Structures are given as structure tokens and as C-alpha cells.
Amino acid sequence: MEGRINITNLSDRDSVDRLLRSDNQNWINPPNYNANSDDQKEEDSILEYIKTRTHHVVVPKDGVNNPTETEEICAICHMEFEYEEIVGTLGCGHEYHTGCIKQWLLRKKECPMCRASVVPSTSTKIYIEMHSI
């Protein structure tokens, strides 16, 4: 299984760092190998838990970026968010490139930063559904 890394004994941060150092970084946007309908359903269900926004750079009134201003980066791939790029936000408020967080959530159902569960438990879903009637 070329390009796969077994990350069962590593912390989440180590997992991300190891994947980023690997020669094959296609895990962020893997090719579609005739994904079956179950894979597509799982991918679609993950999108329910990601809010998206368009990234805009705040520029001071004088038109010059403040040199102390920190750039916003994706904690998964460590790349900056580009102007007008779509950014995915989890319920905990942490933001990532949508492709990065989508692939992460296919493997783990928690925020890579704070480990907050992204998918509500079954009892939480039932409670929400019962109270939305």
C-alpha cells in the first residue's frame, strides 16, 4: 500500500507532522478511484459539520499591512489561507482549508487542534431531532 502511513501509535500532532513530511502529499486531494456510494455518503455527511466562509485579508485604512499582523494558516497543512479561498470552520471555531479538514474528518471525527468531537453522539442527534419537531 504505497503512500499509506499507519498512525495508530502517534499523537494527532505527530500524525499531521509525519504526513506533511512524507514525499507523497496527495492525501490532501486524493484522486477519485471510483468511490462507492458508501464512501460518497460518508464524505457528504462530513460536510454537514463544516461551515464555510470566503477568506478575506484585512488591510488597514492606510493600505499597508501591519508588520506585526499574523498570517492565518491551516494547522493541518501549515499553508496560509489565500485571498478569497474557501475556509472550513468546525463547531469549535477552528478553521482549515476545506480540502484538508474534509480529508482529516474522513479519518478522525474530531478537531485536529482541540480534539472536540465533530460528529454529535447518537443521543445528541436524537435529542435535537425530537426537539426540532
Tens of pLDDT, residues 70-84: 678 999 999 999 988
- Whole-model pTM: value is 0.55
Q: Report pLDDT for 40.
A: 73
CATH 3.40.50.300 fits 12-30+38-61+68-131, yes or no: no
| 66: its cell numbers | 501591519
Give the pLDDT confidence score for residue 57 in this predicted structure. 72
**What is the mean pLDDT of the segment spanning 91-111?**
92
Mean pLDDT of 15-21: 52
- Choose between 7 and 47: higher pLDDT: 47
